[in-house]
Amino acid sequence: MCAGAAVPSVVGMSDNRTAIITGASRGLGRALAAGLAREGFDLIIDARDAAALDAAAGALRAAGATVTAVPGDVTDPAHRVALLAAAPGRLDLLVNNAGTLGASPLPALADYPLDELRAAFEVNVLAPIALTQLLLPSLRERGGAVLNITSDAAVEAYAGWGGYGAAKAALEQASNVLAAEENTLRVWWVDPGDMRTRMHQDAFPGEDISDRPLPAAVVPALRRLVAERPPSGRYRAAELQPAVPAAAPGGQA
C-alpha cells in the first residue's frame, strides 16, 4: 500500500461533500449512492439507461439526498465533460464503478472475440482513467479520493474470466501508479466480492445466484473506507466490514 503524504480530511467540513458515482442506476453503484447520501454527500450519478438512472435519482431524492443525474456512457468524452460540468466547483470523491463483463457466456481466452475485448478495456480501463484525468484538478483542491471498483478476477486465474480479469488487472495497476503519483489524494482499488447483481448473473446464465449477498451488504465496508481514509492501496470489502459488537450478558448487544 502507498502511504503517501498527509492528506486533509474531508470529514466535518462546513460545506457538503460531493461524490461522483458512475454506473449508479442499479447494483453496487446505486447501493453505494444511498449509503454516501446518508453520510451527507451531495451526489452526481450517471448510467447509460436514462430511465433507470432517473428512477434511482428519484428514490434517492425521496430519501432526502441532493442528486444530479447525468445520463450517458462513460466511454463518451462529451459525457465525461458533462460530469465535470455537473460538479459544483468542488469534488471530494470519484467512484469509478461503471463496468462491463464483456462477452457472455464467458468464453475461453483462446476464443475471446477481439472486438469485445477492446470494448471491455474501453469501459473498464480507459474510461475510468480518462474521467479521473479530467477530475484530478478538483480532487487535488479538496484532498479528495478516487475509489475504483475492481474484482478478484484481477489477481486470480479463473477459467473464462480472461477478458474481464485482464481489464481489471490493468485498472488495478493504473490505480497503483496513480497512488504513487498523486500524494495529495487517496486512491483505493477495492474488490467487493461476489454479489447478487445483473453482471454476476450474466457471468453465470441460467444459474441460481441467490446465495450471493446483495450489493447493500458491501456498502458499510466502503463507507468505512471513505470515512476513515486509510492509505492508498488495494482492499477487499470483506476485510473492511465494521466489526459486529459482541453480545452483552443476557443477549443484549
- Check 112, 158, 164, 235 and give the catalytic one: 164
Domain layout of the chain by residue ranges:
18-242
Q: What is the DSSP letter of 149?
A: E
Residue 158 annotated to the active site: no
User: How high is the pLDDT of residue 1?
Assistant: 44
Q: Are 233 and 2 in contact (CB under 8 A)?
A: yes
DSSP of 57-113: HHHHHHTT--EEEEES-TT-HHHHHHHHHHS-S--SEEEE------SSSPPPGGG--
User: What strands, in cross-sheet order, belong to the sheet with 67-71?
Assistant: 67-71, 42-47, 18-21, 93-96, 145-149, 186-191, 233-236
Q: Does the model's pTM come out above 0.95? A: no
Q: What is the DSSP letter of 40?
A: T
User: How high is the pLDDT of residue 89?
Assistant: 80
Identify the CATH number of the domain defined by range 18-242.
Answer: 3.40.50.720
Q: How far apart are the first and last CA of the chain?
A: 34
User: How high is the pLDDT of residue 136?
Assistant: 97
Identify the segments of the chain with pLDDT beneath 50: 1-14, 246-253
Q: What is the DSSP letter of 22?
A: S
User: How high is the pLDDT of residue 253?
Assistant: 34
